[in-house]
Structure 1
Amino acid sequence: MAGAPNKRQKRAEYRSAREQHGGTEMPKKKFYRQRAHANPFSDHQLTYPRTPIDMDWSTFFPAFVCHQDQEPADAKSQDSIAVMSTKKMKQDVEVIDIGCGFGGLLVALAPSMPEKLILGLEIRTQVTEFVQERIRSLRAQNPETNVYQNIGCLRANTMKFLPNFFKKSQLSKIFICFPDPHFKARKHKARIVSVTLNSEYAYVLKPGGIVYTITDVEDLHEWMVHHLEAHPSFERIPFEEQEADECVKIMRTETEEGKKVERNNGPKFVALFRRLEDNPW
């Protein structure tokens, strides 16, 4: 006698049923559960482009694909022409959410920044698939509008391959929301904010671009503030300007971790950092 179906079988049956019904219903998290954290130093069998120009974004943002008679907004540069011939996109990704989890921030940002392409980066396979299904369902539920056409989710290891996806000064916003604190000292090298990674953030951010950080762990907050303040390409944004930023309000309330902290009456530590102009030399 066959035993009860295991988790993998249940997951496969559920996804098959979703496809048969057109995928308009929102996916259920219980069929996409995975360990809370993944080792960023593992191989993970990831695929990534050799250079940003080699990346095809058309499957992530189909509504923003260029037709043959269209050109990207910045088509005057030679680099833009290369992007147009390879990616065939009207515009570049401009906002990223590193470690996007189940996509709460992406979904909340989509209608507030309809003119910008927003990408979630997530290393966990099942969680990435959940967000991708969530976006497909939201698009299917809103066929008459372009809402949610500007968000996508990509499985990637940001600590290793960020410059492979984004060219210099491409991004205007980077969100780092409730990252893994890696409490043990020997694990601090795996923290998403570090001397080396901050230089990569500075590379892909345009001058005036902003790094948004939030955590409920005060030690990690102080770590991120210390390392970003110490970097010559960043300055901390004053509290008054920070609190006036609409993205901060969304970041505090719309991520899954943020909602959990809210339910537990926990603290939320926020810090924003602006990308400075490079020195002329």
Structure 2
Amino acid sequence: MATAVKRSHDTMTTQESSEVLLREPQKRWYRQRAHANVFTDHELDYPASPDQMDWASHYPAYFPAKDGTEQKQVEWADVGCGFGGLIMALGPQFPDTLMLGMEIRVSVTQYVADRIAHQRQLADKPGGYQNVSVIRANSMKHMPNFFAKGQLSKIFFLFPDPHFKLRKQKARIVTTALLAEYAYVLRPGGIMYTVTDVKDLHEWMDAHSRAHKLFEYIPTEEMVDDPILLAARTATEEGRKVERNGGDKWVACFRRLPDPEA
């Protein structure tokens, strides 16, 4: 029986987990509430600046850079990654791209870390999952602490908390203020993916993103053959649940525009 290793304030890195994990983790041992209060002090660890982030513990196969090659950087971020369905689906498809899941819930983050560690132990798996990792973080507060300006080429917001109540809509993951931070870490030409099964939330994210001067809407028909969008719609636990229940999914993708000339 796989069990989660408990810590008071922190979560094991995938490298640490690989030293103790023997069996594939079972989700039922890592359950907790579906959402967390993002305004609560979660006693999170985060670097003062991106250049102080220790990525070697997350991607040991890539750090330090070998043979004088340029040091790789994390390029894709799944914000609120849940149980890690997206990065686990895309990792083997894009083995040369470092991708990170960001999740605020302790047990859920631990599950993803253990899941990655388990897959890394299976040498016959394509890509070895060395290019995927997860970190416990509050993305609404600390994105610029982890990523430098223009570092990311893709950022995902998949089935986020809808915050139905009017007084809680300030906690939605896409707002005018937060879009400025996402634009900061997303390079020009980079893509922001949003998927939800809540029409009201889709309309909210779509309207705020279209109104922002650093993002432009990408017509969905232009993305129809994009394997990344396919995974974003179908690979997550929430996405599969919506399909099982015969529900609808609303998609909107946006391209990061170049910074305006001074």
Give the TM-score of the pair, scaled to structure 1.
0.85
For 2:19 and 2:81, locate their aligned partners in 1 and report how far apart those are by CA, in whole Å. Answer: 27
Pairing of 1:230-241 with structure 2 (within 5 A): 230-241=211-222
Pairing of 1:77-156 with structure 2 (within 5 A): 90-142=71-123, 146-156=127-137
- TM-superposed CA distance for 1:72, in Å, is 5.0
1:23 aligns with 2:26: no
1:92-144 residue CA offsets vs partner (Å, 9 max, x unmatched): 10000000000111100101211110000000000000000000000001267
Which of these residues, 24, 31, 34, is aligned with residue 33 of structure 1? 31
Q: Which runs of 5+ in 1 are unaligned?
A: 1-9, 14-18, 74-89
Change (3 A) 1:157 1:189: same
Pairing of 1:190-209 with structure 2 (within 5 A): 190-209=171-190
Contact 1:24/1:141 (CA < 8 Å) preserved in 2? Answer: no
For 2:121 and 2:253, locate their aligned partners in 1 and report how far apart those are by CA, in whole Å. Answer: 35
Amino acid corresponding to residue 153 of structure 1 in structure 2: V
Instruction: Describe the SS at the equivalent of 2:40.
Output: coil
Q: How many percent identity over aligned positions?
A: 53
For 2:190 and 2:102, locate their aligned partners in 1 and report how far apart those are by CA, in whole Å. Answer: 18
Pairing of 1:241-252 with structure 2 (within 5 A): 241-252=222-233
1:204-236 residue CA offsets vs partner (Å, 9 max, x unmatched): 000000000000000000000000000000000
- The equivalent of 2:55 in structure 1 is 57
For 2:224 and 2:31, locate their aligned partners in 1 and report how far apart those are by CA, in whole Å. Answer: 34
For 2:4 and 2:75, locate their aligned partners in 1 and report how far apart those are by CA, in whole Å. Answer: 34
- TM-superposed CA distance for 1:246, in Å, is 1.2
Aligned residues, how many? Answer: 250
Q: 4+ residue runs of structure 1 moved beyond 6 angstroms?
A: none
For 1:103 and 1:123, locate their aligned partners in 2 and report how far apart those are by CA, in whole Å. Answer: 13
- The equivalent of 2:251 in structure 1 is 270
- The equivalent of 2:207 in structure 1 is 226
Amino acid corresponding to residue 117 of structure 2 in structure 1: R
For 1:111 and 1:245, locate their aligned partners in 2 and report how far apart those are by CA, in whole Å. Answer: 16
Instruction: Describe the SS at the equivalent of 1:152.
Output: strand
Contact 1:24/1:138 (CA < 8 Å) preserved in 2? Answer: no
1:54-101 residue CA offsets vs partner (Å, 9 max, x unmatched): 00000111110125x64452xxxxxxxxxxxxxxxx311000000000
Q: Which runs of 5+ in 2 are unaligned?
A: 7-16
Contact 2:149/2:184 (CA < 8 Å) preserved in 1? Answer: yes
Amino acid corresponding to residue 133 of structure 1 in structure 2: D
1:150-201 residue CA offsets vs partner (Å, 9 max, x unmatched): 0000000000000000000000000100000000000000000001110001
Contact 1:66/1:72 (CA < 8 Å) preserved in 2? Answer: no
1:42 aligns with 2:23: no
1:255 aligns with 2:253: no
Contact 2:150/2:188 (CA < 8 Å) preserved in 1? Answer: yes
- The equivalent of 2:197 in structure 1 is 216
Contact 2:18/2:114 (CA < 8 Å) preserved in 1? Answer: no
Larger radius of gyration: 1
Change (3 A) 1:267 1:185: same
- TM-superposed CA distance for 1:252, in Å, is 1.3
Contact 2:85/2:237 (CA < 8 Å) preserved in 1? Answer: yes
For 1:229 and 1:175, locate their aligned partners in 2 and report how far apart those are by CA, in whole Å. Answer: 16
Higher helix share: 1
